[in-house]
A and B are shown apart, each in its own frame.
Chain A
Amino acid sequence: MLRSAATRRVSKHEAAPSFETSAFRALLRMRVVHGCGHRSNTMTDPIKPQSAQDVEAAVQAALADGRTLETVGHGSKRAIGRAAQWDGTLDLSALAGITLYEPAELVLSAKAGTSLAEIEAQVAANNQQLAFEPMDFAPLLGTEPGRGTLGGMLAANLAGPRRIKAGAARDHMLAFSGVSGRGETFKSGGRVVKNVTGYDLSKLMAGSWGTLTVMTDATIKVLPRPEAQESLGLFGHDSVDAGQAMRLAMNSAGESSAAAHIAETAVKRLPIASLATNGRSVTAIRLEGVPPSIAHRRELLRSILRPYGDIATLDEADSQALWRAVRDVTPFAAAATGVDRPVWRISTAPTRGPEVGALLTASLGAEVLYDWAGGLLWALVPASEDAGVASVRKIVAPAGGHATLIRASAAVRAAVDVFDPQNAAIAILTRRVKEGFDPKGILNPGRMYAGV
Chain B
Amino acid sequence: MSNLKMPEVEQSVLSRRDDIVAALRAIVPGEGVIATEREMKPYESDGLTAYRQIPMVVVLPDTTEQVSRVLRYCYDNGIRVVPRGSGTSLSGGALPLADGVLLGMGKFNRVREIDYENRAAIVEPGVTNLAITKAVEDEGFYYAPDPSSQIACSIGGNIAENSGGVHCLKYGLTTNNVLGCEIVLITGEIVRIGGKHLDAGGYDLLGIITGSEGLLGVVTEVTVRILRKPETARALLVGFPTSEDGGDCVAKIIGAGIIPGGMEMMDAPAIRAAEDFLHCGYPLDVEALLIVELDGPEAECTHLMTRVEAIARGCNASVIKASQSEEERLLFWAGRKAAFPAVGRISPDYYCMDGTIPRAKLPLVLQRMREMSEKHGLRVANVFHAGDGNLHPLILYDANKPGELERAEAFGSDILRLCVEVGGVLTGEHGVGVEKRDLMPAMFNDIDLAQQQRLKCAFDEKGLLNPGKVFPTLHRCAELGRMHVHAGKVAFPDLPRF
Contacts and interface: CB of A to CB of B under 8 A. Distances in A.
Interface of A: 1-4, 7-8, 11-12, 19, 24, 27-28, 30-31, 34-38, 57, 60-67, 88, 102-107, 127-128, 157, 159, 163-164, 167-168, 170-171, 180, 182-188, 190-204, 206-208, 223-225, 227, 247, 250-253, 255, 289-290, 292-293, 295-297, 300, 347-351, 372, 375-376, 400-404, 419-420, 422, 425-426, 429-430, 432-433, 435-437, 439-440, 448-449
A30 B498 contact: yes
A211 to B, nearest CB: 9
Given A192-B424, A195-B356, A251-B119, A34 B498 contact: yes
Interface string B52-78: 000000000000000000000000000
Contact of A348 (B115, B197, B205, B210): B197
Nearest to A192: B356
Contact of A349 (B195, B252, B458, B480): B195
State the main secondary structure of chain B at its contact with A. Answer: loop
Given A60-B492, A195-B356, 14 more contacts: A8-B493, A64-B492, A65-B497, A106-B254, A184-B451, A193-B356, A194-B168, A194-B390, A197-B426, A198-B440, A349-B120, A351-B118, A400-B197, A435-B458
A300 B299 CA distance: 12
Interface string B318-338: 000000000000000000000
B494 A200 contact: no
Contact of B257 (A28, A224, A253, A349): A224
Nearest to A300: B297
Interface stretch (B17-25, B36-44, B79-87, B427-435): B427-435
Best-surrounded residue of B117, B191, B231, B390 (most CB of chain A within 10 A): B117
Nearest to B193: A426
A180 B455 CA distance: 13
B8 interface: no
Given A185-B447, A401-B195, A28 B496 contact: yes
B411 to A, nearest CB: 19
Interface in B199-223: 199-208, 210-212
Best-surrounded residue of A24, A102, A193 (most CB of chain B within 10 A): A193
B26 to A, nearest CB: 26
24 contacts: A11-B496, A57-B495, A102-B360, A157-B199, A168-B199, A186-B450, A191-B423, A192-B388, A193-B356, A193-B389, A194-B388, A194-B429, A195-B427, A197-B425, A202-B207, A224-B257, A290-B300, A348-B197, A349-B195, A402-B197, A419-B201, A425-B191, A432-B459, A436-B451
Nearest to B497: A36
A402 B257 contact: no
A445 to B, nearest CB: 15
A87 B485 CA distance: 18
A347 B303 CA distance: 37
B47 interface: no
Given A11-B494, A433-B458, A224 B259 contact: yes
Contacts of A192: 356-358, 388-389, 423-425, 428
B176 interface: yes
B162 interface: yes
A400 B200 CA distance: 11
A296 B358 contact: no
Nearest to B456: A199
Contacts of A403: 201
| In the complex, the 5 A-B pairs of residues with the closest C-beta atoms, listed nearest first | A203-B207, A402-B201, A436-B454, A293-B300, A224-B257
Best-surrounded residue of B358, B450, B456, B485 (most CB of chain A within 10 A): B485
Interface string B382-424: 0001001110000000000000000000000000000000011
Contacts of A225: 257
Contacts of A250: 119
A259 to B, nearest CB: 12
A190 B424 contact: yes
A402 B255 CA distance: 38
A68 to B, nearest CB: 12
Contacts of A194: 164, 168, 173, 356, 385, 388-390, 428-429
Given A170-B204, A194-B164, A449-B202, A37 B356 contact: no
Nearest to B216: A199
B274 interface: no
B243 to A, nearest CB: 16
A180 B451 contact: yes
B191 A207 contact: no
A201 B301 CA distance: 37
A428 B438 CA distance: 32
B230 interface: yes
Nearest to A295: B299
Contacts of A170: 199, 204, 207
B300 to A, nearest CB: 3
B462 interface: no
Contact of A196 (B162, B193, B259, B304): B162
Contacts of A204: 203-204, 207-208, 455
Given A200-B207, A204-B203, A292 B358 contact: no
A30 to B, nearest CB: 5
Contacts of A195: 356, 425, 427-428
A251 B302 CA distance: 23
Interface string B126-140: 000000000000001
A372 B251 CA distance: 32
A420 B199 CA distance: 12
A253 B203 CA distance: 33
Contact of A197 (B172, B207, B443, B493): B443
Nearest to A203: B207
Given A195-B427, A293-B299, A296-B298, A201 B208 contact: yes
Contacts of B497: 31, 36-37, 61, 64-65
A274 B449 CA distance: 57
Best-surrounded residue of B195, B200, B211, B494 (most CB of chain A within 10 A): B200
Contacts of B300: 289-290, 292-293, 296
Given A8-B492, A194-B390, A290-B304, A65 B203 contact: no
B459 A429 contact: yes
B197 A347 contact: yes
B305 to A, nearest CB: 12
A63 B491 contact: yes
B490 interface: yes
B228 interface: yes
A375 B197 contact: yes
B231 A253 contact: yes
B448 A193 contact: no
Nearest to A40: B498
A293 B297 contact: yes
A402 B296 contact: no
Contacts of A64: 485, 490-492, 495, 497
A167 B297 CA distance: 22
B189 interface: yes
B462 to A, nearest CB: 13
Given A8-B494, A194-B429, A164 B198 contact: yes
Nearest to B442: A197
A252 B140 CA distance: 9
B397 to A, nearest CB: 24
Best-surrounded residue of B140, B162, B201, B303 (most CB of chain A within 10 A): B201
A63 to B, nearest CB: 6
Given A36-B498, A197-B432, A204-B203, A188 B448 contact: yes
A433 B203 contact: yes
